Structure formats: C-alpha cells, structure tokens
C-alpha cells in the first residue's frame, strides 16, 4: 500500500498516480451521468429536474462538512512524506472521528433543511405528463441519499486516505465495483419499476454501501503502511487544530462555490421546467469535460503534500506545471468540440428535443471554461497540498460572488435571454481566479519563498 510520490521522474510519477485516480473519477462521475441518462430516457422531465436539483442541494449542504476531512488528508500526506509514522496514525484516527460526525450532522442537515432549500431555490412545481413534480422528486431523492450518507462518507474517507498515502489504484477497484452495481440497480429501479428519482437514489445508496463494506474489509486485511490501532482513534489537540486550520477554508470555499451555483440554479429554475432539466443534464456533461483537470488537481494535492513534507517543494511545482500541460492537451480539443457542436453532444444524453435545444445553448459558454480550469484546478491542487488553503478559498469566493453571480444574473435580465447568457458568468469568474492565482504566486512564493513553506509539525 505504501507508495512514495517524492521519488522517480516527475512526469512518470505524476501520470502513474493520476491515471488510476482519473479512471476512478470518471467512473465516480458516471454515477450521476448514469442517473441522468436513465432518467432522460426512461423517466419524466420532473424526475430529471428533481435529481438534478436534489443532488446539487445535497452537495451544498454537506460540502462544508467534508472540507475538514480534506484538511486531514493534506496533513496526512505531509506526515507520510516526512516519514512521521506516529503522527500519520494519529491523523488517520482523527480523520475517522471527524468523518463520523460529518455523516451524522450532514444527514441531519439534509433532513431538516431539505424542504426549505427546495423552496428557496424555486424548484419547478408544475405537474408533468406522469403526474409528477420536480419538487416532490427532489425531496424523495434527498431523503434517501441522506439516510445513506454514512456509507458515502466512509467510502470517500478510505479512498481519500489511500490516495494521500500514494495509493490511487485500490480506490479504482472499489469504485468500479460500485459503478457496475449502480448501473444494474438503476436500470432495474428506474426502467423496470418506474421509480424515477427514488430509484436513482436507492441505486446510489446501495452501491455506495457495498463499496464501503469492501473497502473496510480491504483495510482490515492489508493494513496501513504504518502501525495503526483503535487507540489512535482519539482526539489530538494539535492535529485537530491543524486539520481545522486547513479544512475550514476548504469547507468555506466549497460551500460558497456550491451556494453560488445554487443561486445560478435558482435563476435557471425561474426560466421553466425545460431549463431546469437542461441544467441537471448539462452539469453531468460538464463533469465529464472537467474530469481531466479535476483528476490532476486532486492528485497534485497529494503530490504537493508529500513532497513538501519530504523537503522537495520544487518537485511539487514541476509536477504542477506538467499537470497543467496534460490538462490543456485534453481541454483545448474539448473546448473546440463543445463550442462548435453543442447540439450533437447534448443529443447523446437526451432524446427530448426541447431539453437538448436549451442545454446546447448552455454548453457553449461552459466550453470556454474547460481551458481555464485546466490551469485553475492544478494550481489549486498545488496550493492546497502546500497548505495554502485560505487563499484558494479567497480567490474562489471572489470569483463566484463578485463575478459569476452578478454577471449571470445581469445577463439573465436581458430581453430574450437564454441559458447561453446565464452561462457566460462561469468562464468570466474562472478568468478572474486565474489572474489572482498568478499574482499570488509571484508575490508570495517566488524568489525562494516556496522552500520555506511547512505546515506539519512533529507532535509525537
């Protein structure tokens, strides 16, 4: 299970670590995409809109909680890179404690605030040809997913922990099994039993539960690359303090970013059922386009953390440069394809001509964002791995609330405005983020300042 990201050729090490992570991310993204495809073909627009809104709301309500765990993974990577096995074990124990609390609190938030958030975001309430409404479908989806949150939290924790330790292959096996189960169950429940959003939620929860059980059995059999016992599962003041210092900015950034897209979703929901359905559909398409830079960005967080802990920050920087190059090699062709052939792309995901037409308009401005996030995701991964989580939260928040929301809202008020106009705010916000990142690096990290960075201390 032990795998060092601090040795070997930089490009080879990065690719070998990122490739399994990329495949796992593609498969994990397929969870939502499979739901969207099956709902598009075998369910009503209300079910599609309900799942689209419900999944967005769940992500927004739980994102602030899971950020603390991400802070723990950064700390674990640094301790592991520095070969401080005692502190690595303590960090794992504290991550487990935090994630258990996250699962319970997250479920409580969804069940208590779900109806309110559905109302606030103005999910369409019109009745479709099957007698369903997006409001009720979203609530059904959220309730079932909330009850299964403990499995999602447990599975994500073990997978993230393995990646922080340099093992990106094992989580690929876990998520592959889950995806196969999810597809089989989804077809049975959505098409066979016509369960709509409830079927999508049940398929997700059951597949995640299976993945969690398998991952726990794996850990018990293989063990971690350092001594870890149940006695390490107890609060450690210094470690918890560092996890919160790193995790709070990540939580706030994720929460505020999700909130900004909730505001955008509210704007879109006011444009009718087809627009709302198109938003859910386009989110799945965009996730696939974003998967390459997302995978490299997430990998670079572990790579940077380990190399900083090992006293090799320049290796982390070189990995980031290569991550950007690899991301752009895919992002640029995707931008061109989505800009010139949006209808053909969207028609692969839905047979509904009205939804396809609206979604294609939305895809065009988002395609411009593909190239920009090739830079931003990799840079954010580097910054997070180096413990610079506060700045990441700042530039993402500024971009979302000073650019994305105001511009999208203003353009939506234009006479004859479509989802194309609403979507322009997203690449504009990414451009602002990129400029802020470049300026921050030049001012704060150039000229030998990078070598002096360190976030982990010896607490053993």
pLDDT digits (tens, 9 = 90+) for 243-298: 888 888 887 777 777 778 778 888 887 777 777 777 777 776 777 778 888 888 88
Q: Nearest CA to 109 among 54, 52, 61?
A: 61
Q: How far apart are CA 165 and CA 289, in angstroms?
A: 27
366 burial type by CB count under 10 A (0-12 exposed, 13-18 middle, 19+ buried): buried
Query: The tokens 């992570």 sit on which residue?
Result: 21
Q: How do residues 314-344 score in pLDDT, each as one tens digit?
A: 888 899 999 999 999 988 998 898 889 888 8
416 burial type by CB count under 10 A (0-12 exposed, 13-18 middle, 19+ buried): exposed
- 144 alpha-carbon distance from chain centroid: 20
Q: Whole-model pTM? A: 0.71
Give mean pLDDT in consecutive 10-residue pieces for the chain, a chain of 460 residues.
69 85 76 72 76 75 68 82 84 86 85 83 72 82 88 83 81 86 87 84 89 87 79 86 83 77 80 75 75 85 83 87 91 88 81 79 87 92 87 90 90 84 89 94 81 57
Q: How do residues 385-430 score in pLDDT, each as one tens digit?
A: 888 888 998 998 999 899 988 998 898 888 888 888 888 888 999 9
Q: What is the pLDDT of residue 460?
A: 46
Could you say which DSSP state residue 225 is in?
Answer: S
């Amino acid at each position: 299970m032990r795998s060092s990201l601090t040795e070997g050729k930089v490009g080879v090490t990065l690719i070998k670590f990122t490739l399994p992570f990329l495949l796992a991310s593609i498969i994990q993204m397929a969870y939502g995409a499979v739901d969207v495809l099956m709902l598009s073909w075998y369910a009503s627009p209300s079910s599609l809109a309900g799942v689209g809104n419900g999944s967005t709301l769940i992500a927004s309500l739980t994102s602030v909680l899971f950020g603390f765990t991400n802070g723990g993974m950064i700390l674990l990577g640094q301790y592991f890179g520095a070969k401080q096995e005692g502190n690595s074990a303590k960090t794992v124990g504290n991550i487990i404690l935090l994630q258990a609390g996250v699962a319970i609190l997250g479920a409580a938030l969804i069940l208590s605030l779900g109806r309110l958030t559905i109302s606030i975001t103005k999910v369409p309430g019109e009745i479709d040809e099957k007698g369903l409404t997006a409001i009720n479908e979203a609530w059904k989806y959220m309730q079932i997913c909330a009850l299964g949150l403990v499995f999602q939290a447990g599975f994500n924790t073990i997978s993230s922990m393995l990646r922080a330790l340099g093992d990106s292959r094992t989580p690929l096996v876990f998520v592959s099994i889950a995806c196969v189960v999810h597809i089989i169950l989804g077809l049975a429940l959505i098409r066979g039993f016509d369960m709509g959003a409830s079927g999508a939620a049940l398929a997700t929860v059951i597949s995640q539960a299976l993945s969690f059980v398998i991952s726990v059995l794996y850990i018990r059999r293989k063990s971690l690359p350092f001594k870890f016992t149940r006695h390490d599962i107890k609060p450690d003041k210094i470690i918890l303090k560092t996890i919160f210092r790193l995790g709070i900015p990540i939580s706030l950034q994720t929460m505020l970013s999700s909130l900004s897209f909730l505001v955008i979703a509210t704007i879109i929901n006011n444009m009718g059922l087809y627009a709302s359905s198109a938003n859910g559909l386009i989110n799945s398409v965009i996730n696939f386009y974003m998967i390459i830079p997302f995978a490299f960005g997430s990998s670079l967080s572990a790579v940077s953390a380990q190399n900083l802990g090992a006293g090799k920050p320049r290796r982390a920087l070189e990995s980031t440069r290569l991550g950007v190059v690899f991301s752009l090699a895919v992002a640029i062709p995707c931008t061109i394809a989505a800009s010139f052939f949006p209808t053909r792309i969207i028609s692969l995901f839905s047979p509904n001509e009205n939804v396809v037409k609206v979604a294609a308009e939305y895809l065009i401005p988002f395609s411009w964002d593909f190239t920009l996030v090739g830079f931003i995701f990799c840079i954010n991964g580097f910054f997070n791995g180096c413990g610079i989580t506060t700045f990441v939260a700042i530039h993402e928040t500024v971009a979302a609330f000073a650019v994305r929301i105001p511009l999208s809202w203003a353009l939506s008020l234009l006479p004859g405005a479509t989802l194309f106009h609403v979507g322009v705010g997203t690449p504009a916000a990414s451009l602002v983020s990129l400029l802020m990142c470049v300026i921050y690096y030049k001012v704060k990290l150039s000229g030998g300042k990078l070598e002096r960075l360190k976030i982990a201390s010896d607490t053993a």
